[in-house]
Amino acid sequence: MKTVTFRDGCSVPALGMGSWNMGDSNASCAEEIASLRAGLDAGLSVIDTAEMYGSGRSERLVGEAIDGQRHAVFLISKVLPSNATFDGTIRSCQASLKRLGTDYLDLYLLHWRGGVPLEETVEAMEHLKSRGAIRRWGVSNFDTEDMEELDALDTSCSANQILYNLEARGIEYDLLDHDRDNKVVSIAYSPLGQGGELLDDSVLGQIARTYETPSGIARPAQIALAWTLRNPNVLSIPKAGRRAHLRANLEALSITLRDDDLRQLDAHFRPPQHKTPLQMI
């Protein structure tokens, strides 16, 4: 299975499982838990969540899903910028750990940049790391200038979680290269886009029909996911709320896009020619 490696040498599968909007409906919780457990059984160790998701409901659901399997999980959560003071970061981490039913996180992220000085949040992250409450820390939704400011403060940032898919390619202009060169793993959220419009694209569908997966002809979503996985420093975390979707995501790992298809995707979903504001959702 393709992997990505953090600056401390820890390697994880390049395909993980997101949990945004999980735990919001009692009717779907059982299937969401079953999907996460099926992913762990298949070797997808990375699960991403956040205190913001459902005001903690996602973390509780993830905690239930990993009960008894913590050793097999690379667990990520995030602190809200409004909580990212020194004391607030400590409290948020403790609350997340309690909801998740664990005593440490593998990776703890600042969800996006807010009004708290970066120095204060970094100090809190390092404090949590020294106590063993987190193994490593990073950021989310940071653009190149933000990362450069962070570089001037500290060199131990492990990851930057950012929006990345065929319709949101602005980070290719300079951010992806900056993070790779500084040994920061890029974590792609919403790699399949939002609202399903990307997956209805005719060119994506045309390319998908030329690939086979273990279950048959590839789907547009699998091509879109394989496209994000082509980058050696990108960890992609599509939502894994249903076992059928999880199986499809897993099969995307078997797809290596041909050069002609990559050129066709570039012609249809144009890569950036200049710097653009960082896209977020």
Catalytic residues: 53
Alpha-carbon distance of 186 to 181, in angstroms, equals 11
Residue pair 279/170 in contact (Cβ under 8 Å)? The answer is: yes
Which two tokens mark 23?
């735990």
Residue 233 burial by Cβ neighbours in a 10 Å radius (0-12, 13-18, 19+): middle
Question: If you ran DSSP here, which 8-state letter would residue 106 be given?
Answer: S
Q: List the alpha helices (DSSP H) in 14-166.
A: 26-41, 57-66, 86-100, 118-131, 144-153
- Which pair of tokens denotes residue 36? 């996460």
Helix, coil or strand: residue 69: coil
Closest by alpha carbon to 180, among 9, 16, 7? 7
Q: How far is CA 32 from CA 40, 52, 61, 136, 151, in A?
A: 13, 18, 8, 27, 38
Estimate the share of the chain in helix, then strand, then coil, as percent rounded to the nearest 5: 45, 15, 40
CB 63 within 8 A of CB 100: yes
